[in-house]
Each structure stands twice: as C-alpha cells, then as structure tokens.
Amino acid sequence: MLEGDSYTPHQVDHIVSRKHGGLSSEDNLAYCCIRCNLWKGTDIGSLSPVTGELIPFFNPRRHSWADHFRLDGAIIEPITPEGEVTSRLLRLNLDKRMVERRLLIAIGRFP
C-alpha cells in the first residue's frame, strides 16, 4: 500500500534491528507504516501458537509476499508459519486496517 493511501505515516525500519546485529544497509531496510514498526519493535520473530517454536518474521527483502500471504478481499491470509507470526504481531487484519483496505478496493487503489 502506498503511503499516500494510508491513514498512517510511513518510516524506514531495520528488518533485523541493530540490537540483533542488523546493519543500516539497503538489504536490511524496509519502508513501513509506523504502526507496524512499533508493533514489531526490535523483534525478529515470534513463537508459533501451535508448536511453540520461534518463527522468524516475513522478510520483504528475501521472501516473496505471495509465498507467505494471500488476499481474500480485504483480508490478508497467512499461508506459512512466517506469514502467521507476521500477520499476528503486525495486526495486519485489525478492524481499522480492514476498513482502510475495503475503501481502497472500492476506489480501485488496492491491491
């Protein structure tokens, strides 16, 4: 989603935070909304609610979005463990976000 279509400003985020050895290099930076950046914090993954295993987040520099998520209307459905922990921690289907995506779909601006 383009920043101009979002009600939340965007900023540059370290995919792997400097705290965990991430560099301020192009392959470790992503442009994301402030909400996602705050919810992610310095985390690099989360525990699977099914297995309890530590699962890394989806990495937009290394992974294909279509391999980890699919769209069902305005719903972003995770299809891998990485997609699930990313979707859950970043709250990709929060009510406000769903309303925003539905409005953008209606005017042809999403996906």
pLDDT digit string, tens, across residues 25-68: 999 999 999 999 999 999 999 999 999 999 999 999 999 999 99
Indicate the pTM of the whole model. Answer: 0.94
Q: Counting beta carbons within 10 angstroms of the beta carbon of residue 53, is it exposed (0 to 12), middle (13 to 18) or buried (19 or more)?
A: exposed
Cα–Cα dist 84/87, whole Å: 5
pLDDT exceeds 90 at position 2: no
Domain boundaries, the chain: 3-106
Mapped onto helix, strand or coil, the DSSP state of residue 33 is strand
Neighbours of 39 (CB within 10 A): 15
